[in-house]
Structures are given as C-alpha cells and as structure tokens.
Chain A
Amino acid sequence: MENLSLKNHISIQDLNAFYSGHHALRDITVEIPQKQITAIIGPSGCGKSTFLKCFNRLIDLTDGARASGKIIVGGIDVLDGSIDITDVRRRMGLLPQKPNPLPMSIYDNVTYGPRIHGIKDKKRLDGIVEKYLKIAGLWDEVKDRLKSPASKLSIGQQQRLCLARGLAVEPEIILCDEPTSALDPLSAQHIEQQLLKLKNDYTIVIVTHNIHQAMRLADYVVHLYLGELVEYGPASEVFKNPKEERTRAYINGTFLADLKTDAEINLKGNVCPYNFMYAKQALHDLSNGKLLKVVVDYPTAVTEVPRGMEADGHKVLSVKQINKTDWEIVIQK
C-alpha cells in the first residue's frame, strides 16, 4: 500500500451475508481507510448494497436476512448482537440511491436526528440547520422556505437535504448507495463536489455503477463480483493496473465505448428490424476485428441488435445507456 500512515476506519473480517438461503456476500475481508473515499464497484446484483447495509445493519430490517463475521468500527463489532446499534448507526450517515426525505418540513428533516438525540434548544437547532444546509450546498436555495415540505424540493435538492440531514447527527462515516443515479447530471456533479469536500472530515464509502464517477472520486476501490471480493487497492493502481483479470474485464467493459471505434452509425429513429440490417451493412464494410459503434433509441433494439449480431458470429463488447433514450452498442467484427 502506498501510504502506510493511513489509518483504517472500518475493518471487515470474514463478512458473509444471506437472504433466506441466498448467499449474497462471501468471506469478505477488507479495510476501509479513514478520511478517504472508498468506491465499491461491480455489476448489478453483486452485493454492493448488501455490503453497505451490513455496515449500519439496516439489513436487519429484511425478513430472513442475516450477516456473520466482523465489521469493526472504532473497536466495536457492528455485527455483535449485544451492542447499541442506534449509536453505531448514528456514526454512519446514509445517502440513499433515491432521495428519501421524511414527510415533514425542510427544517424538521435536518433537525430530526438532533431532536431524536435530545437537542431541544431552538437556537441550537437553528444553528444546526444553517450549518449543515450550508455544508450540503443547499442553504442559499432554501433559506427562505425552511418550513415548507421537503417533498416540494427538486430531486437534486432533496438529495442534498438528505446529505445535510445525515451530517446533522455528526457521523464519522458517510455511506452512499449510488447517490447520484437518480439525479440529473448537474445535481450529480453538485453531490460529487460536496463529497470531495467532505472527505477531509469524513470517511466516505460510495457504491457506484459508474466507473467514471469512481475514478473522479475514489482514493480506494473495492471490486465485488457475485458476492465475492475480487480486488481491493488504491484507485490509481486498480484502475491503471488491475491485478485481477475480472477487474480488468469489468473496467474495460465499461470503457470500451470510449475506446477508439473504427466506425460509428447512428440508428436513432429506426425500429427493428431495420436498425439491425443497417448495422449489418455497416459491419460488412469493415474488415475483421474492427470495432463498430451503434447508437440506438428503440427499446427492443437494445437486446435484439446484440443478440442478432452474436448470432451472426460477431462479438458484442458492450451495451451501455448513454442518456435517457439512447444506448450505445459496441460490436467487433
């Protein structure tokens, strides 16, 4: 490891998680460094959310779910049944995938945690609201309507409110589960900027589907695949020089679309089977091994074009959604 003076904040040992029979996490042992951003990457369903839910034991809420092993935070084993879990949870803020404001005003959302923990003084609560809304970068937009319902805010604003609400109980750790995936690009950028600032004071663990986001934010990367830990290390090493073939494949898979392709056709507005035929024509003109990028916006084409291409003996390297309507398919002849 490049920085030996780095302190570990969360130490995970032999973590296993089960959903009534389904083994969702297998023997995971990893250390999460203090005051760094650690990104958890991996394909859908590999157990990223489950991993986070073990940290604050929200997994207990799922009927039939169970976690074993050790997750040690500040000398306390979170998974030990006898500890005060509310205290552990308080030390870990949670930023969910979809903003989840409580059904109350903006002000009451931020003060919810502090009030739960016994702060009643109005002046102090006012101070908390201002402080954390400022840190979350929301204060200027809402300072005149603190008493209006949180649900009236835009999705991006709601997410920053959730950030402020989480910070208001003074956690040491912030857990984010794909915190920007429901947001528009600008709001997403906003959240990313806040996270980068916050890492001076907090240990941040972020689950993300988006390799680009992981590269922009992460100091450390944990790669999970089908519930197993594939690779773990400093972001620079993992991204430039993955030790594991599976990590390389995952990163490349998400990057191929950015690789130089030899030809590109835009089939937006075409329905099946025409988009498929045009793609076939375009491939015909290429020599073997060359890459063709196809952009489609017809929902069926997203599955049918790759299928057809594979049936024709070509190799589909990636299928990726690039915006709300458009998908990018990279095919190798």
Chain B
Amino acid sequence: MTVLANAMWGSRAYRWWMAALYAAVAAGVLLWLRQWNQGLVLTGMSRDVAWGLYVGQFTFFVGVAASAVTVVLPYYLHAWKDFVRVVILGEMLAIASVVAALLFVFVDLGRPDRLLNVLLHPSPSSLMFWDLLALTGYLALNVILARAALAGPPAAWNRALILVSIPWAVSIHTITAFLYAGLAGRPFWLTAAMAPRFLASAFAVGPALLILLCRAFRYDAGDEALRKLRLVMTYAMTANVFLALMEVFTAFYSGIPGEAAHYSPWTWLSGGFMAAALALALGRSRYAPAAVFASLAIDKGVVLIPAGFIPSPEGAVTPYIPTAVELGIVLAIWCAGALLVTVLFRVAESYNRRSCPHHPS
C-alpha cells in the first residue's frame, strides 16, 4: 500500500487537481443528499421518461469498463509486446469505470437503502440482476489482476483469470445491452444490433480514452502502442457508425410508424457528431481521440436512453431536460472516476519507474 500512499502526493498542480476533484465529489454528495431527501422529483425525469442521464451514463461507463479488453486481449493472447505499459492502464481504467457505473445505478434508485433486495430476492428472469452480478464480478477480477500485475510477472493462476476476464468484459456490455434490447414495448431499443453496437462503441471509446489519459498524465506508453490504440479505435468507430446506419435503414425503410418516431433532432445531431469523429479518425487528426470519446459519451450517455422513451407507448412526446441537481451529481461521479483514475495511474507510473530504471522518463 505504500505505492498507493506515494500516489496521493505530488507536485503543486497535482495537489490542486486532486483538491478540485474532492470538492466536486463533496458537492455531489450534498446534492445527492438533497435528492434522497426530496425524491427524484429534483431530476428532469418523468412518468413518460422514466430513465435519463443516470442510466445513460451508467451504460456509457460499462462500455469504458469493458474496453479494457482492447489492450488485455492483444497483449496476453497475441503477445503484442508494445502494449506492455498500457495493459495495466487498461485494467486500472476498468476498475474506475465499473465503480462509476455502479455509482450511477445507485443514484438512480428511488430507494437506494433497499439495494440489497436485489441479492436477498434474486430474480434470474431480470437482466438487472445479472448485470449487477456481472459488474461486481468484473470489478473483483480487475482488482485482483491489477494487483497481481503490480506484484510481478503473471503466475499461472493469474493467467487463467486473465483468460476469464476477456469474455467477462464482453459479457458485461452484452448484458447491459440486453437490459434494453429485450423490451417488447420499446421499438427504439428492440434491435439485435444493440449489443454488437455497444461493443463496437466501447472498443472505440476505451482506446480513445487511454490515448487521452497518456497525454494528460504525460505517461510514456511508447509510440507503437499509441499507434495501435489509434488503429483499434478507428476500426471500432467505423463498425459503430456502420451499425448505427443499419438501424436507420431498418427503421425508415420498413416504414413502421413506431420505429422512425424515435429519431429526433437530438438523435441526428448525435449521429452527426459520431460521423464527424469518424472522419477525424480516418484523417488521422490529432483531435480524433477527443472527438471519438466525446461523441460516444453523448450518443450512449445522453441520447440513447431518453430517445427510447420519446414518444411514449401511447405516443406522448414528453421532453426530457436534465436539472442542475442531476447534472451536478453526474459531474461529481465523473470526478470520482477521475480521482480513482488519477490515483491508479500514479500507482501504475511509479510501478513502471521502479521496474524499468533505465526507462528514459
């Protein structure tokens, strides 16, 4: 744990950054206490739009968590040695993202004090039950793997866990897609392309975020690793945009009224962002990782969930406008995730310095 303790200290800028994150998290806790006290009436959700930003952000962060597989799989299964320094970052990012995803579920509940009912009264027909199991299992796996990776070269049991973690990562996002894709009454989500598209967008977002974090933390991942991350991001983003277009085709060519009705200016705007981000990635722009990350954070984290509820099954169009309280809580959970990422990345960095004394950094 001394590694962890060292990670908490650093330069002046670092201390300010941490202080700001702590302050944002504290503000979020206060806002959440208000929400707990007065109810979810403080959010922009309604009878018709029963899920909003919280569930959207949950979905997005499950994707970021699953994306660790984009570095774990090439490194361990295909021996891409270039990823030697990013693979630990991928695992750290997965830990922070699962925590953020679980926090988003928590703040969305009307009665969070009863959360344990999910385990006390297990309901195998509910995908939410399976999703919570998969997520907590994935969190445990990654904590074990990251700790083992810091301790030294992988032991045999450790390798077995790594092999388990790969399909497990795919499963968490598939189950999360199944939360929505099996609901007969919600045509916007009722599509077999939901899980594949979730995975494609996740595998674009993860590498994009890793590139951004390496830049932000001045973490030397190696040029070849960065180049390969970019490649994975570009292919995955292409697959994601392709699948999105498939959805558009079916919705509009079939002419079924309930299908096309869910495409609003917001969905088109978000689709436009994704297309622009893909164009930047294909053009090898320096801004591509930021654009890919932002466009997918919007598409999955903001647009996808409310769009499924508007119009309602009875055709009512109830707009969803998040409130300041809701935005504050979302921001606080992002900051909690950033806090975790900062600490965990420092741990990874100090570990790298110790283990590679000749590394030019």
A, B bound: no
What is the interface of chain A, defined by CB distance below 8 A to chain B?
Answer: none
